[in-house]
Structure formats: structure tokens, C-alpha cells
Structure 1
Amino acid sequence: MLTMSEINCIKFLRNHKSYSINKIAKDLNLNWRTAKKYADESFLPKESPSSKRGMMYGTRWGEMIEDWLQEDAMMKKKQRRTNKKLYETLCTYGFEGSYRTVCQFIKEWRLGRDVENDSRFERLEHPPGEAQVDFGVMEVVKDSHAVDVHCLILSMPYSNRTAAVALPAENQECFLTGLKRLFKEIGGVPQQLRIDNLPAAVAKARTTKEDAIYTDAFQQFVTHYGFQVQSCNPYSGNEKGSVENKVGYVRYNFLVPSPVMNDFESLNRRLASSLRDDMERIHYEKKVRIKDLVVEEKKHLLRLPEEDFPVFKEELLKVNKYGEVTIDQTKILVPSGSRHGQVRAILKWDDMKIISRHGEILY
């Protein structure tokens, strides 16, 4: 191919000097066809799109691999199929390409889904599969008295779905139990979960120089369910504005006037039923039913683990001279506790068990 300076010379001789094709070819020592091509044809710049070629692109083989990779992305790392397993499965359907071809296709597919390179995963855009949680204090009537319960609220900003569970406190056992129930209610695990600096999960709050430090129990919970956690800066409720609004929404729409509560299980069943009916509303911005957005967003949730995560806290307590131990700032009399200097307490969200150092159940 000729350079642009040579092409310009041919054009100049043809158009301004009126040279014939034969003379141009002779003077510039070119083939006649070459001289003819560059003298009389137009050469306009054209885009040269890089179309991917190969047996994995635009064929059923690539579509099959993509479907399998999307299925595996919803599972934990150890449960995903390896490249070799995907290749062997593909061969059972008659694939005749090489293992290297499949590996290259998988590599490009994963690079295209890299969260850090995907502009859709900006915080303000609220990608599907993201959730925010926070506690809100609500009032109910129990035994003819007004009492406070602590509702753990979960908000899915993409679909505007709300889920809530009422609990007796905001300690570690209640918080983790509440998350378990919320995940079960929405039918999956959010890929990202934004939380406030809750003492039940955060041992040291986030600062401008250091990330938050989480409690061991919460980190173990995060590892089991496989989601990513994001903590807010101190006194920055605007960073989780969606769930902040949902605390008031749940309170004024479903718990005012104060409902009568027999027990937490019955209250949570009524609350869950009301919030499911609430999904029939039209999304304030997207102008479609929240229920339809929930169906779409559920495809982006992680699968619930097959093995249940037991939520409890184990503490070593000192028995005072009156045979009492202190749990959550409450003194509890333990029968025959005075005979034991220390006891072990197994605490759950709704019950507890106090055991002696020799394994005897004392309370």
C-alpha cells in the first residue's frame, strides 16, 4: 500500500497536471492498475470495527458458556465449575474447539463483568443486588402496656423493596438473626450490604484514614453468606438515605396506631404480609410495579447457603456473692450459682442457657 504522500503526488499529477494513467505509471515506476486505482478513486476515512471472530462468538457454544458462567456467579467460589469442567461439559454437546479457545473466551467474559471497570456500579445509581439495613425503634402494645421493639429494616434501592423484622434488642444475636430472616424473606443474599456503625457489627468505626473494623462474629457471618459489607462514615445518615426513609415509612404506614403484639413471631408474620402487599405499588421514578422490579433484581442476588448459620454468643460470667450474674445490664439469679465462681452463658436472640464449668445446666 502506498503512503499518503505518494497518493497525493498521483492525485496532483492526475488532476492538476492532467497526466495520463500511462505517464503516471511510467514516471513513478508503478503498475498501471495501481496508478489507475489511486488516481481516479476516492479514499475517505472509514471506521474499522474490531469484530470478534472465532467459533465461540455468535454461536451457541459461546451462549452456553455464558449461561453456565452466570449460573456459577450466583454460587460460592468452591461450588463453581472450573474452566476444565466447563470445557469437558461443552465437549459432550459436540464442541470440537480447543481448551485454550474456551479459556480465552471465559477470560474475556470475566473482564467484561469486572465491577471496578463497570460504570453502572456507581453508588448513586444503586445497582440491582445492593441493600441497606438499619434499626428503628417502634411502639407496640403488649399486655395492655406500650413497649418498644427494635425493627431491623432492609431496603433495596434499585427496586424500592422493603423488608422488616421486629426484635427485642439491637445486640449481636438479634442483629444476625434479623439478617438471616431478611435474607430468607427476599429469597437471596444481597451482593453488597451497607450498614451504619452498629455496635453489633462494628468494633471500631470508620474514619477518614482507616476502614471500619468489624466484630469477629459479624465477619464470620459475612464469610458464610458471601456478601460485601460497606460501612458509613460516622454521623453520615445520608450515605444510606434509602433505608433511613424506610424506617419512617414502616413506622407510619404499618405500626401506627401501635398494634397489639402477642409475640414476636405473630407480629413479624403480619409485618411481612403487609410489606409483600406493599410491592404492588408503582415505583416513584421507574413507573412500573415494585413487584416487577423485585423479580428482575432477584436474578442479581446470591443464593442462600445450604447450611444454616447458628447465631449465638458465648460469654464467661462471674457470679457475685448473691448468686447473680449480669447479662445486658440485668441481674439474673442463678440457682446454686453461688457454688460456682464463674459460669458460661449461651445467649440467643430469644433465650439463654447458663452452664457450669463442668457442663451442668444451671438456668
Structure 2
Amino acid sequence: MKTQIHDLRKVRMWYEVKELSSNPGNSDSKIAKKLGIDRRTVSRYKKMSEDEFHEFSMKQRVYELVLSPYYPDVLSLLSIDNGLPAAVIEDRLKEKYADLPKVNSKTVYNFVQHVRRQEKIPVPEKIRQTEALEEFAYGSQAQVDFGTAQMRRLDGSRRRVYFFALVLSRSRYKYVFFQTTPFTGKTAVQAHEQAFKYIEGIPGKLLYDQDSVFLKSENLGDYLLADDFRRYRDERGISVEFCRKADPQSKGRVENVVGYVKNNFLRARTFHDIDRLNEEVLSWLERKANGTKHATTKRLPHDVWLIEKEHLSFFRPSPAIPRDEIPTYTVRKDNTISYKGNFYRVPYGTYNGKGPEVLLKVKDGTLSLSNRQGILLAEHPVSLEKGKVRGDTQV
């Protein structure tokens, strides 16, 4: 009887969603609030014809019947802990019943929600307890994170960029570095070196997410550092700490910087080339990010950094980063470089009117072109002919 009532309620809800959505002034969120249902449910119901809705309802009914023998178990678990997540309940059922029907986790979640509705067991409201943290000592910590965003080119196409961000926890003095490929252990090390050069020292501790750039795995609470970063840490003698992802209390400063870069620096900005973007972000750091009053401290990050940098450890370039002398070639107006009688393309927009130089390496018949930050721009097979233009513009 309860299931029939629940089915009728769903049918009525579908009709109400359809009726309310006929008014252009009713958004999905507004309808969801009025009916007391999830916004995603509103969106799903709006897309369904009447026949599709009835078919959907029948499938849901079958799923409920498949799991209905486990109703007492679910109810018992919720009686013990009414805040128990569906994922835990699913695991407990699998542990208890080897022949538990093979349904996906979303089905189990829906069934648990069904039991909650029938038994009037609400989900307890979770309130995250936070407290104001003491201010960090000068030079004691910096926080590091990565971000990515899509930028628009002059021709209207899109270009994804990736960035490294570091912020000193006391002064909020920031550094940002961009590249056109995802960060690896090696390029993350390069970014660290450039950051330490920019802030003129090394902080006492560096705080990170549990990112695959730095970690291979976590074993019973022990972090296994990725090889490149482990070697770098050992050589530098830096102290590192890892925290939970998206934890605003422990790593909120740099997460705010990532959002600041996306919503302030990158917003409505056109991508020309990666070198120009890094020049632009350095100007933005000086002008805006480090040059205007911070909302929390009410001070200029640059002014506080003048004090903080005296508390940072001495920095000199690290031999962990290869610094072999690599020949440079000037990019021509047609975004090519000339090498041994042939022309090799670099990505459109690399030429910026200044005749930028790129680094050229040849190994095993492959010619590689990189910018001065060591970021790969293009790779092409070496041509044995003369006077040819080689290569696609994409890496």
C-alpha cells in the first residue's frame, strides 16, 4: 500500500513539474524549492514525455522490488545510526549477503531514500564545525595547488591552460605560473624553483593536496612521494605536508588564490601564447594580487612580504633541474623556425611581434621545440629534404 501511495505521489509530482515549467519565469531551482524536491529531479522530469515517465516509474518499481527483501536490514541500520550514508549501507549488505543482487550504487541510494521516506527518517543536517585559526609565523608556511581553465584565442578557438599557484600563508604574497600541458613531477619542480626565486626564499613548510603529481599512493596513512618530487624534496631539504582535498580550513588560502586567478586574472582574457600569458600574470601579480589590500589582513601582500622574506631560508638554483645549454632559434612571423634548410612549425600565436626564441633539441630523429621555461611547444620528425615546411601546429 505504501508503495502505491508513493507511486501516485511521483505521478502527481511529474504533472506539477510540467505545469510549473510551462511558466517561463519558473527556473528549475524555483520549482524545486516550491515542490520540496531536488533541482536535478525537476530537470529530469521536464525532459520526460508522459510515456517516458511511466516507463521510468516502472523501472524504479522493479528496482524497489529487487531490494525490498532487504528493507528490514536497511531499517535496522538506520535505526542504529540515522545518518548512515547509503554507501556504508550498501557495503554492510554486501558483507552480510553474498547473493545480494548486482545493482549499481545509485539504485541502493534510491532504495535507502525510499526507506527513509516510508519510515519518516530524515537525514540529519551536517554542520561543519570550524574555528578561527591562529595567524602563521613569518616564513613558516606556503600553500601550493594547481588549476586549469579554458581560454579563448583570437580566432575564437579554445585553448586549455594549466597553472601552478603558491601563496605565503602569513603575507598572502602569491606566485602563479602557466603552461599548456598538465603538470608532471618535473614541471612541478621547475615551477617550485621559479616560485622560490620570485618570493626570494624557501618557507619552513609546504602544504599540498594529495595530488598525483606529488604522490604515488597512500598506504595506511603513509604517503609515498612520486620519484621526481621525492628527489627534489631530499635535495632541497624542504618540509612537506599533505591534507585532504578541498579542505578550506587547512589549505583555504591557496584554494582562494586558484579561484582568484580563474575569476579575476583569466576572466575574459585572450590567449596569445604561453610566454605572453606568463608575462601578463607577473604584471597582474605585481599590480593586483600582491599590490592591492587583502580583504582579510587589510594590508598589501607586497608590504607584508617585505617583512616575511627576511624569515625565509636562503634560495639558490637547484642542480636537480637539468640546465644543459640548448640552442635557441627565433620564431618567424609565420610561426615557424628555420633549421638546416627546412621550416618547422610552432603553435599559432607563438610569434608575438617580438621574434621570441625557442629551444631546439634533436634526438632519435625527432626535433623538439620548447619555450624558455622548458614547456614543450611542438615535436616533428627531422626532414632529410630541403626547403620543406614540416609539422602540425598541435603538440
TM-score, normalization by structure 2: 0.45
Structure number with larger C-alpha Rg: 1
TM-score (norm 1): 0.49
